[in-house]
Structure 1
Amino acid sequence: MPTQTQPQHEGGPTAVPRPEYPRPQFTRPEWLCLNGPWEFEIDRGDSGLERGLAGAGLSGAITVPFCPESELSGVGDTDFMEAVWYRRTVRIPAAWTGRRVLLHFQAVDHDATVWVNGVEVARHRGGFTPFTADLAGVAGPGEEAAVVVRARDSRHGPQARGKQATWYANSGCHYTRTTGIWQTVWMEPVPDAHLRRPRITPDLANGAFHLCLPLSRTGEGLRVRAVLEDGDGEVSAAEARADLDTAPRLTLPVPEERRRAWSPEDPHLYTLRLELLDAQGRTVDRAGSYAGLRSVSIRGKAILINGRRVFQRLVLDQGYYPDGLMTAPDDAALVRDIELARRAGFNGARLHQKVFEERFLYHADRLGYLVWGEFADWGCAAGGGPADDNQRPDASYPAQWSEAVERDYSHPSVIGWCPLNETFQRLHDRFTALDDVTRAMFLATKAIDPSRPVLDASGYSHRVPETDVYDSHSYEQDPEAFREQMRGLAEDAPHVNRGEDGRDWSVPYRGQPYFCSEFGGIRWDPGAAGGEHSWGYGDDPRTPEEFYTRFEGLTGVLLEDPDMFGYCYTQLTDVFQERNGVYRFDRSEKLDTARIAAAQRRTAAYEKGGLPPR
């Protein structure tokens, strides 16, 4: 695995929150973590630029990378914030002399502008993906960099925000907002010509990895080199010219005797060493990475992992924490969530309505946890209605989603993409902007990553005829009624979500792999009086035994269907007022987890089937 250095910071590593390397699949040995105390000011009227906040000291303080609504930030203000400002002066290490400095923001919600020493160095819109400012000509090694960030996050007007409420209080499936910086801020030194993030494509059938190594620029005599290693040392190496192509391609073969597939049972990872060499063969830049050799393919109604049927026992994971909101309090919390899911019998998750931080995917990679990547856009609608004022689809959706797919392309744990969730097309006699955005996001995903299946929209409106996967959501609580609802899949007439008017909004099912991607959601909150402060789906079970019987019945319907490739149970943990988690919001146990696991671990009918014909 890549060597992860500790951040250099006044007071030592223990003084820095979230000090771990934020980009584990593309590492460099030198970096500077900028988490910790920053000057901070709330700008409720978004008038700070006019009032001179870009060049002045700020009135408050905050702990980065936690958002100001969270307890861990030290602010804990959950009222509306049209804009917030951050300021911190950093002395760039003199040891980086001779190199340019990159300033990275892993995620800022939602519309960010960055100034350094009074010069605007970056703008970025989208609250879930990273962006970078090159400080060349503005601040360099041994110099001070006064970093100022303005983040706008209005509740008025449409933007992709996932489950963040646009009204004051939490309610239903809407949670406390996240404004501003909510993931790690950091710096690293790079040479003028340097490596950029690699795209790693596993080729299990032919026993190889295909690498695309983008560069900042070409140069006379430049070459790229990649070395693949496992526990026994070097597996293979390859070089390519980098003087004409800004994205050289390499193939690293894996001899059969060193071939070891990545799987949930054996999440084997190879190490990668990447180098940029000059005309004399000297190393100009180097970076570390890793890769998993696995395949995802479709055959008939089956999704195969490494050519075999693996029933996907997924859980809906919202990725919220009581004290950090969308930001995990520490790296161990990310690991704990995966371990809790596996303890309850799940082998993966839909990473729901949030682009999870890269550290989560790193842990999923090394632990063998299957995940579906998803954008944050719940509530998209077309044709009128309140949702239009919340998350109206526009050109920003495919732009921001493309950044997420590109960021996470090389992670072996990601086995599918889901750009949209529960979209509602209300106009049936003409196309809408949502139709165009749905198709754009689907095509963008397939163009960036043809190696994985793509579900155009999870639940409700399937609008792309060639979508790789078809699904539905159902919170029917009676197992027998649920069985009747799901029984049509064998006749190629599966359950399809319908609109409030009873009409089918989706394109016809064409025999794709199918799963129920949301079900269950059984409320279990015996401590709540009358349920007025919490909710889940269906009538409350009266006893724990009644809960287990319902859970076993609902999961059994899907486990017993030979054409169902998986399911996704709602959900891993309670989230605020939503009390339908397998665990409480603080991750403590509220049920007999062994009973939950036993209900899922029996062999699924899908796993007993042979391979469909090619």
Structure 2
Amino acid sequence: MPSSAAHDIPRPEHPRPQLVRADWLNLNGQWQFEIDAADSGLERGLRERELAATITVPFAPESELSGLGHTDFMEAVWYRRTVTIPPAWAGRRTLLHFGAVDHDATVWVNGVEVARHRGGFSPFTADLSDVARPGEDATIVVRARDPRHGPQARGKQSTRYGNYECLYTRTTGIWQTVWLEPVPDVHLRRPRITPEVAASAFTVVTPLSANRPGTSVRVTVSDGNGPVATATARADVDLTPSLRLQLPEDRVRLWEPGEGFLYDVRIELLDAGGAVTDAVDSYAGLRSIAIDGKRVLINGRPVFQRLVLDQGYYPDGLMTAPTDAALLRDIELAMAAGFNGARLHQKVFEERFLHHADRLGYLVWGEFGDWGAFDGREQQPTASFVTQWLEVLERDHSHPSIIGWCPLNETSQVIGDQVTQLDDVTRGMFLATKLADPTRPVIDASGYSHRVPETDIYDSHNYEQEPAAFAGQVRGLDRDRPYVNTAGDRPVPRPAVLRQRVRRHLVEPRAGRHRPGRGPRRLLGLRSARARRGGVPRPLRRADRCAAGRPGHVRLLLHAAHRRLPGGERHLPLRPHGQARRRARPRGPVAAGRRRTLTRRRRRRLVPMVAVQRRRGHRGALAEPFLSVLSDHHAEPLTW
């Protein structure tokens, strides 16, 4: 983009620093805009007419920087802008790029649909060659649908009107840079640059738009002193040419935590006569990742990761940083505070952030914004979660700052006898990640939600806010005894023991009057309808409590349904797997015998317990319930 135009638009910097061409046109700035409250705009002709308002792209309409600050729900929004494709691009194809649009996007140019994409975190591209040529006007119309209900990868976006707990103002529509780029008919696509520290080499995989006879790909790696290594490969034999560049021993310099040394990488596409027909500039860092027991090794040395949990929200731009300098400042502040990296939490950060992390040697874990799949009973992630995550892996593979992947976070759900949708998607995302990138460790689902036994790292989450208590919980680190999530007094087992899983829930009570004598500190036994007095379960009998501590028992978490305690806290009354909700009590002599049989079965097989305890030091009396069911492992298998 001409530098003279850069000061006229917001976020003028190149949005894709690992794949830069000399010619491009930033489309950030003023666009026509209109809210489509009922998603009826296509029927009402919004695609064809001028829109009622304006908006500053790339900021979402909920943000102040967009010029709107509309924070209510919007089922759909529309954008419109007419641009002239530069005449100097004649003879090349014009690509229209979107960094991210939340959530379901459809794009028309000059009345013709050119792209549709699902997912609010990953980029997509439309080829405009058949609808607008260089020197012609292109009227771009974008509709973004963002339904409030149903499973959707939202990350930390609130499904209520206002912010609550750890969920924040929504982002709808375009929230990253939009730009045009000219490319030849046969052009380079995003390369995959993989470092090999043991061999002092880089492997560069160069996807192409097409193969043509006589073409070749040339890759040059340079440092501040000039070219370091060059390799050439034919581009008319293999569908995707791959090159290996060996670095001379005296020019090897590693990318280290706190010192992000980067090599410049130039990739060129040559025709049969050796002329350059396409060229892109990129960069790479030479670093390795390995695991030795409980230690993560960077370049063969253990590195203790002091990571900040970065959620990437800005007061005025929401998920979009107001400036490139704001991205850099977040990293510099974290490093000044003593952190050496970040877990990029429930959001796929824009590439400019990763670029600064690459330059500064800032360690990051890449994570998908998967929250939004819980329907009130169970997790329902869809196939699009896998699709979007693969697009993210393709975009970010070559960033040396990323040292691990985390597809899912705290997708806590009971593991029962039936294979669930969450089981399928969790394993699918884990396997897809390992296949797409075998060079980095993968956490299947962070926190107390592991479902894949072969996950590379088993992590635990700790929400303790008292420094002294936290220090006590993690003091075993230096003795190779890390903190492990527990339920009650039992550790949450490792994923190899999935059938003996217990999970912990953190819930925030709603406001409500608390009646004395029915407080959350009581131990409540949930057994039969006859054991309930006035709707409140009676405490467990002494025999039941003794049985709970008997050797040879394991803890199992059964299916549960949310119920509210009188004081506003929630607990999860348990019922055996497959048992329906409680119905009206049957009456009559036959029914009475049936009730006695059910009661005997429950007394013999199950002793459900729910303990709800208030956590000290939290406003609103944050409740932290844990749930467990005791079952004799000699009586029957542990799977239900």
Query: Which TM bucket (shorter chain)?
Result: 0.7 to 0.9
TM-superposed deviation, 1:425: 1.3
Q: Report what 2:397 is aligned to.
A: 409
2:32 & 2:100 partners in 1: Cα distance?
18
1:316 paired residue among 304, 309, 321 = 309
Q: 8 Å contact 1:461–1:505 — kept in the other structure?
A: no
Q: Report what 1:588 is aligned to.
A: none
Q: 8 Å contact 1:380–1:424 — kept in the other structure?
A: no
**What are the residue-to-residue correspondences of 1:43-58 with 2, within 5 Å?**
43-58=36-51
1:495 & 1:376 partners in 2: Cα distance?
25
Q: Report what 1:133 is aligned to.
A: 126
Q: Report what 2:178 is aligned to.
A: 185
2:494 & 2:294 partners in 1: Cα distance?
19
Q: Report what 2:408 is aligned to.
A: 420
Q: 1:502 to 1:138 in 2, by over 3 A?
A: farther
The answer on 1:385 being equivalent to 2:372 is no
TM-score (norm 1): 0.78
1:496 & 1:83 partners in 2: Cα distance?
43
Q: 1:433 to 1:173 in 2, by over 3 A?
A: same
Secondary structure of 1:460 counterpart: coil
Secondary structure of 1:55 counterpart: coil
1:128 & 1:506 partners in 2: Cα distance?
31
Secondary structure of 1:424 counterpart: coil
1:466 & 1:493 partners in 2: Cα distance?
20
1:309 & 1:509 partners in 2: Cα distance?
28
Amino acid at match of 2:376: G
Amino acid at match of 1:414: I
Secondary structure of 1:404 counterpart: helix
Secondary structure of 2:392 counterpart: helix
1:208 & 1:176 partners in 2: Cα distance?
45
TM-superposed deviation, 1:235: 0.5
2:244 & 2:414 partners in 1: Cα distance?
48
1:263 paired residue among 246, 256, 281 = 256
Q: Report what 1:438 is aligned to.
A: 426
1:340 & 1:266 partners in 2: Cα distance?
16
**What are the residue-to-residue correspondences of 1:264-283 with 2, within 5 Å?**
264-283=257-276
**What are the residue-to-residue correspondences of 1:138-157 with 2, within 5 Å?**
138-157=131-150
Bigger relative contact order (CA 8 A; separation at least 6): 1
1:47 & 1:379 partners in 2: Cα distance?
24
Q: 1:64 to 1:505 in 2, by over 3 A?
A: farther
Q: 1:213 to 1:228 in 2, by over 3 A?
A: same
TM-superposed deviation, 1:300: 1.6
TM-superposed deviation, 1:494: 5.1
Amino acid at match of 1:410: S
Q: Report what 1:249 is aligned to.
A: 242
Q: Report what 2:553 is aligned to.
A: none
The answer on 1:194 being equivalent to 2:187 is yes
2:487 & 2:411 partners in 1: Cα distance?
10
TM-superposed deviation, 1:509: 7.7
User: For residues 124-154 of structure 1, what are the alpha-carbon distances to aligned partners after superposition, in whole Å with 9 as ceiling and x for unaligned?
Assistant: 0000010000112111111110000000001
User: For residues 78-126 of structure 1, what are the alpha-carbon distances to aligned partners after superposition, in whole Å with 9 as ceiling and x for unaligned?
Assistant: 0000000000000000000000000000000000000000000000000
Amino acid at match of 2:286: L
The answer on 1:296 being equivalent to 2:284 is no
TM-superposed deviation, 1:365: 0.3
Greater displacement, 426-435 / 67-76: 426-435
2:168 & 2:273 partners in 1: Cα distance?
57
2:6 & 2:137 partners in 1: Cα distance?
21
1:17 paired residue among 10, 24, 34 = 10
2:44 & 2:487 partners in 1: Cα distance?
48
Amino acid at match of 1:84: V
The answer on 1:398 being equivalent to 2:420 is no
Secondary structure of 2:167 counterpart: coil
Amino acid at match of 2:443: L
Q: 1:345 to 1:486 in 2, by over 3 A?
A: closer
Q: 8 Å contact 1:460–1:496 — kept in the other structure?
A: no
TM-superposed deviation, 1:503: 8.9
Q: 1:310 to 1:394 in 2, by over 3 A?
A: same
Secondary structure of 1:188 counterpart: strand
Q: 1:130 to 1:45 in 2, by over 3 A?
A: same
Q: Report what 1:469 is aligned to.
A: 457
Amino acid at match of 1:257: D
RMSD value over aligned CA atoms?
2.1
TM-superposed deviation, 1:435: 1.1
2:120 & 2:484 partners in 1: Cα distance?
32
Q: Report what 2:564 is aligned to.
A: none
Q: 8 Å contact 2:363–2:401 — kept in the other structure?
A: yes
1:101 & 1:246 partners in 2: Cα distance?
23
Q: 8 Å contact 1:379–1:422 — kept in the other structure?
A: no
Secondary structure of 1:400 counterpart: helix
Greater displacement, 239-248 / 16-25: 239-248
2:155 & 2:207 partners in 1: Cα distance?
31
Secondary structure of 2:412 counterpart: strand
1:506 & 1:179 partners in 2: Cα distance?
38
Listed as ranges, the gaps of 5+ residues in structure 1 are: 511-518, 520-614
User: For residues 238-283 of structure 1, what are the alpha-carbon distances to aligned partners after superposition, in whole Å with 9 as ceiling and x for unaligned?
Assistant: 1001112231000111111000000123211000111000000011
2:254 & 2:108 partners in 1: Cα distance?
46
Q: 8 Å contact 2:152–2:373 — kept in the other structure?
A: no
Greater displacement, 243-252 / 210-219: 243-252
Amino acid at match of 1:328: A
Secondary structure of 1:104 counterpart: strand
2:101 & 2:170 partners in 1: Cα distance?
13
User: For residues 343-389 of structure 1, what are the alpha-carbon distances to aligned partners after superposition, in whole Å with 9 as ceiling and x for unaligned?
Assistant: 111010000100000000000000110000000013655xx62675x
1:7 & 1:158 partners in 2: Cα distance?
43
1:501 & 1:214 partners in 2: Cα distance?
53
Number of residues of Structure 1 aligned to a counterpart in Structure 2 = 499
1:136 & 1:376 partners in 2: Cα distance?
33
Secondary structure of 2:359 counterpart: helix
TM-superposed deviation, 1:486: 4.0
Q: 1:158 to 1:499 in 2, by over 3 A?
A: farther
1:227 & 1:405 partners in 2: Cα distance?
24
1:206 & 1:222 partners in 2: Cα distance?
28
Q: Report what 1:169 is aligned to.
A: 162
Q: 8 Å contact 1:425–1:505 — kept in the other structure?
A: no
Q: 1:129 to 1:80 in 2, by over 3 A?
A: same
Amino acid at match of 2:342: A
1:76 paired residue among 69, 77, 91 = 69
The answer on 1:158 being equivalent to 2:158 is no
Q: 1:376 to 1:501 in 2, by over 3 A?
A: farther
TM-superposed deviation, 1:477: 3.4
Greater displacement, 430-439 / 441-450: 430-439
TM-superposed deviation, 1:55: 1.1
1:45 & 1:435 partners in 2: Cα distance?
34
1:164 & 1:52 partners in 2: Cα distance?
30
Q: Report what 1:95 is aligned to.
A: 88
User: For residues 468-493 of structure 1, what are the alpha-carbon distances to aligned partners after superposition, in whole Å with 9 as ceiling and x for unaligned?
Assistant: 01111111234554455446778987
The answer on 1:221 being equivalent to 2:221 is no
Amino acid at match of 1:326: M
Q: Report what 2:339 is aligned to.
A: 346
Q: 8 Å contact 1:66–1:327 — kept in the other structure?
A: yes
TM-superposed deviation, 1:497: 3.1
Listed as ranges, the gaps of 5+ residues in structure 2 are: 499-505, 507-640
2:120 & 2:373 partners in 1: Cα distance?
17
1:237 paired residue among 225, 230, 235 = 230
